[in-house]
Structure 1
Amino acid sequence: MLTKITVGDYMTRRLVTLTKDTNVFDAIKKLMDHKITCAPVVDDRGQLQGMFSETDGMNVFLESVYNQGMSGKVGDYMTVDIITVTPETSIVDLAKKFQESSVRSFPVFEDTELVGIISRTDLLKALAKLN
């Protein structure tokens, strides 16, 4: 039964996005305001450039402490080596990807288009609905 459930069934389709030029503190505030752990970083055509996550925010925090300065752009801190999934990916395969990675969310691509994001929480929601 679980093998028939896909990423597309539980992914978030309404994305909160950032750009490389977004101030890192504005980006962190956006993550907090939307209660999300990461956001895709896109260019002006909507193409994925990277991901900005809580982990990247921790790097901002530590650098601001060490350098006693608080500035920077998302492009300076974002993660660029991104693992992606498709809407057709089984949530079983997704669970394996999460288990093998410290990443808490994956961008979802259909062909070359960013169509959503799927998080560990989304996966747990799928599991909870089975009970």
Structure 2
Amino acid sequence: MLKSLKVRDYMNSEAVTFSPGTDLLTAVELLLMHGVSSASVLDASGNLVGVLSESDCLRGILVGSYFEETGGSVGSFMSVVVDTIDADANVLEAAEHFVKKSRRRLPVMAQGRLVGQISRCDLLGILKSFNSPQLKSR
């Protein structure tokens, strides 16, 4: 039996998300708690409007430290140019995207809506299992 190669079959469909109004320090706490390097930012209608990465959080904390203020909102520090991948894309396309763009995670979209997230680590496990000698002999 052929294995699925679609991103939708390997993505995390319960990804961490934020709203633009989420407090930055709360967002940092949630990223750390869930052990993820970034999270999608959704508006009130559920549309993807940005991504908050560890780098964005560090920038926000540094800006706050410089002005001796804490906090701020996710919307003030998120990246608004977002690379995404379609849920029906091939996992090899996703791997190529990660290599070319140096991203750690990608929001997964279906019909213009966020449906999950996939990471480099997810793909490493998938591609390793596809190339395992034990599986090839079956």
The normalised TM-score by structure 1 is: 0.90
**TM-fit CA distance, 1:15:** 2.2
**Greater gyration radius:** 2
In 2: Cα distance, 1:128 partner to 1:95 partner = 12
Residues 61-100 of structure 1 aligned to structure 2 (within 5 Å): 61-100=61-100
In 2: Cα distance, 1:43 partner to 1:57 partner = 19
1:50-94 deviation line (CA, Å, top 9, x unaligned): 111111111122212322221210000001101111111111111
Task: Indicate conservation of the 8 Å contact 2:61/2:71, yes or no.
Answer: no
Runs (4+) of structure 1 exceeding 6 A deviation are none
In 2: Cα distance, 1:66 partner to 1:124 partner = 39
5+ residue gaps, structure 1, are none
Note if 1:28 corresponds to 2:53: no
Provide the secondary structure at the position in 1 that maps to 2:86: coil
Provide the secondary structure at the position in 2 that maps to 1:11: coil
Match of 1:41 in 2: 41
Task: Indicate conservation of the 8 Å contact 2:13/2:116, yes or no.
Answer: yes
Task: Indicate conservation of the 8 Å contact 2:20/2:74, yes or no.
Answer: yes
The normalised TM-score by structure 2 is: 0.86
Question: Percent sequence identity over matched residues?
Answer: 33
Counterpart of 1:61, as a letter, is: I
Provide the secondary structure at the position in 2 that maps to 1:114: strand
In 2: Cα distance, 1:41 partner to 1:102 partner = 20
Paired residues, number = 129
In 2: Cα distance, 1:128 partner to 1:10 partner = 13
5+ residue gaps, structure 2, are 133-138
CA RMSD of aligned residues (A): 1.6
Higher RCO (CA-CA < 8 Å; seq separation 6+): 1
Provide the secondary structure at the position in 2 that maps to 1:88: coil
